[in-house]
């Protein structure tokens, strides 16, 4: 009986500690706010419920950076360049299905991450999480330059896709339509 009580006591102590919200993404440790704990972690991301509820994504490839930053900036309601706990950041405010969400792109160590959450501002929990990541190794001009280049390349990509689509539609409309009629006698 004494042994069961000891085991229960140990479980009560260590279960909350083992489920505490610490995740490591691409070598960077994040302390996840309690309300977003128990999400799904992969090599380059952490997602709680849906990407708009809460997510962290390592933008370790230029293609990822270009697509995510470009599409967020294209649809942005507003954005601002700022500093969060010593990290250069861009805060983008947007809306999905009439619900506001905020995405923060920030530099930490030698990487760029995004944190997306369903709120209209960067609250103290998000600021605290970012503050506990390593300081950035890159300069402000390098960080903002990478984001500007990604946005410019994204816009070029969109223009090329539109030209390709228009060209396809044009070639499709210039071709005669073949109609075959079959009659049964």
Question: How confident is the model over 138-180, as pLDDT tens digits?
Answer: 999 999 999 999 999 999 998 988 888 877 777 666 666 666 6
CATH topology of domain 21-165: Jelly Rolls (2.60.120)
> Can you say how many angstroms the Cα of residue 25 is from the centroid of all Cα atoms in its chain?
13
Q: Is the pTM of this model over 0.85?
A: no
CA-CA distance, 127 to 29, in Å (whole number)? 14
43 contacts: CB under 8 Å, gap ≥ 6: 25, 26
Residue 14 has pLDDT above 80, yes or no: no
Give the DSSP H/E element, type plus range, for residue 99. strand 99-108
The predicted pLDDT at position 147 comes to 97
Residues 91-127: pLDDT tens digits?
A: 999 988 888 899 999 999 999 999 999 888 899 999 9
Q: Which two tokens stand for residue 102?
A: 């905020």
């Amino acid at each position: 009986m004494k042994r069961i009580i000891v085991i229960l006591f140990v479980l009560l102590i260590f279960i909350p500690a083992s489920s505490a919200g610490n995740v490591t993404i691409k070598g960077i440790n994040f302390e996840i706010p309690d309300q977003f704990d128990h999400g799904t972690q992969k090599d380059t991301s952490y997602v709680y419920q849906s990407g708009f509820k809460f997510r962290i994504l390592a933008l370790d490839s230029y293609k990822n950076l270009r697509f995510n930053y470009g599409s967020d900036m294209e649809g942005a309601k507003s954005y601002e360049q700022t500093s969060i706990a010593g990290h250069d950041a861009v805060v983008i405010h947007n809306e999905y299905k009439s619900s506001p969400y905020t995405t923060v792109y920030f530099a930490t160590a030698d990487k760029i991450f995004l944190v997306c959450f369903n709120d209209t501002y960067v609250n103290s929990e998000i600021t605290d999480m970012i503050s506990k990541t390593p300081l950035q190794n890159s300069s402000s001009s390098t960080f903002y330059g990478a984001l500007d280049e990604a946005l410019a390349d994204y816009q070029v990509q969109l223009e090329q896709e539109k030209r390709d689509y228009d060209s396809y539609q044009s070639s499709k409309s210039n071709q005669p339509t073949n109609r075959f009629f079959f009659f049964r006698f």
